[in-house]
Amino acid sequence: MYAVKLHILLAGLPAAAQEAIKQVPPQERFSHEWAAAEQLNEAALQEQRFSLIIFTPASLGTLSLAAVRQAAGEHAQCILVTSEPQFLTAAELQLLDGIWPAPLTPDLARYFFSRLAAALKARKDAWMEHTYWQTTINSSPDLIWYKDKIGAHVEVNDAFCKAVGKEKTDIRGRGHYYIWGLTQEQYAKGEFVCNETEETVMNSKRAMVFDEHVLSKNNGMRQLRTYKSPLFDEDGSILGTVGVAMDVTKEREYQEKLLRIARHDPLTDLPNRRYFYEYVEEHSKEPKYLLSLDIDNFKQFNDHFGHQAGDEVLQLFAEVMRETFDHGFAARFGGDEFLVLYTGELASDNLRAAAEKFGRTLREKSAAMESGVVSTTVGMAGDLSGKLPIDELYQRADAALYFAKQHSKGQVMVWREDMQKRA
């Protein structure tokens, strides 16, 4: 992807050494442009901006090393070829990028230049890799972080900084509770802290996926889908972890909203028939009691007062169901037909009492309605074994409801075998 041209000045070197250096082939993606001089010229150094200057003390003339360094610029490599490095001061050594021995034979020239060229190539490659890495992670909308094995953050991307509201310099070397703005008490409880999953990743020595909740001081509770992998040293030991997190908070909220729409009746906001069967499937082997309820003479509300009045009756019916059967699963099965399912060990007398209370409360709350008092008839059936198919249990509860309507509306009837035959 990159291409580097090295503009190289050889000053004061023996001709054989210069020729040997020029014979060294350029590294991949590198090219060489040569210049030679007996003495260094400050103006030429400033004007031509060499990438690499290899010179002898004799080529300095009246120039100091400091003057050469300043004229060459901070990006140039300055290599001194000398037989007396011991006489260089500490300050002068700081100005040089390398020292080669003199006399510089052709073999030594080739050796040192080859190593220098390889080092320049390695440095450029490392810079490019760093650039690729930084550009990649900072272009990602997902949170990316690197941690050491004790949980301190080594590096993070821009999205991570935005999520926690801190700069990278304030994040490096810090732990989870400080970065996310948790109190020490919250951190001590271990709530919304991802350290445990990173321990799991390091112990398993493989990449893993998690659904995690993180509490952020700035953004509240966030739901994250995290991808975490262990980082290994050259000897195979664990260095730490790298993590990538997708903030799926809004996505999950949207999914939950869609699921609720799919599972609930839009008029009454009660679970619908589909959700009812899903709930039954989750409790298929448990003891059950099923209440089947409908609105007495519901057609008259629509016929005499209009469908709006009918909708108001249905909404009131659902409201009283939620209040009365708060421990059961109440659903609108269709039209004016409603079901309440109880699971587990329950007393039928208590459920019958609750159903009777429902009828009284419904009559009381509807007394002030322009369309008149609303009453209900309830059929109830139980399956203490947990083995009866739900459709058969529904038929029994419905048969009890049908039987009650035939004899006297507005009552609660418990299923008996003779009711099934009559139904």
Per-residue confidence (pLDDT) for residue 217, from 0 to 100? 63
Q: Are the folds of 4-136 and 141-252 the same?
A: no
Our CA dihedral for 309, 313, 316, 320, rounded to 10 degrees, sits at 170
Please check the confidence at residue 195 and state whether its pLDDT lies above 80: no
Please check the confidence at residue 380 and state whether its pLDDT lies above 80: yes
Query: For 144-153, what is the mean pLDDT?
Result: 93
pLDDT bracket for residue 186 (50, 70, 90): low
Which residues touch 226 (CB under 8 Å, ≥6 apart)? 194, 197, 209, 210, 211, 212, 243, 244, 245, 246
Q: For 264-422, CATH number?
A: 3.30.70.270
Average pLDDT value for the chain:
91
Which residues touch 157 (CB under 8 Å, ≥6 apart)? 137, 138, 140, 143, 144, 145
Which residues touch 261 (CB under 8 Å, ≥6 apart)? none
Query: For 266-291, what is the mean pLDDT?
Result: 94
pTM: 0.63
Q: How far apart are CA 30 and CA 53, in angstroms?
A: 17
Sequence ranges of the domains in the chain: 4-136, 141-252, 264-422
Please check the confidence at residue 189 and state whether its pLDDT lies above 60: no
Q: How far apart are CA 269 and CA 95, in angstroms?
A: 78
What is the percent of the chain where pLDDT is above 70?
95
Please check the confidence at residue 252 and state whether its pLDDT lies above 70: yes
Q: Which of 6-20, 141-155, 205-219, 347-361 has the highest mean pLDDT?
A: 6-20
Q: Report which of 179, 183, 130, 170 is spatially closest to residue 151, judged by C-alpha positions.
A: 179
pLDDT bracket for residue 393 (50, 70, 90): very high
Please check the confidence at residue 45 and state whether its pLDDT lies above 90: yes
Which H/E stretch holds residue 307? helix 307-324
Task: Say which range, 156-170, 191-205, 277-291, has the weakest mean pLDDT.
Answer: 191-205
Per-residue confidence (pLDDT) for residue 417, from 0 to 100? 82
Summarised one tens digit per residue, pLDDT across range 209-251 is: 998 887 766 677 788 899 999 999 999 999 999 999 998 888 8
Please check the confidence at residue 371 and state whether its pLDDT lies above 90: no
CATH fold of the domain at 4-136:
Rossmann fold (3.40.50)
Our CA dihedral for 39, 44, 45, 47, rounded to 10 degrees, sits at -170
Which H/E stretch holds residue 203? helix 195-204
Strand partners, 272: none
CATH-assigned architecture of domain 141-252: 2-Layer Sandwich (3.30)
Helix (H, G, I), strand (E, B) or coil at 261: helix
Check residues 187 and 136 and name the one with the higher pLDDT.
136
Query: For 164-183, what is the mean pLDDT?
Result: 86
Per-residue confidence (pLDDT) for residue 106, from 0 to 100? 98
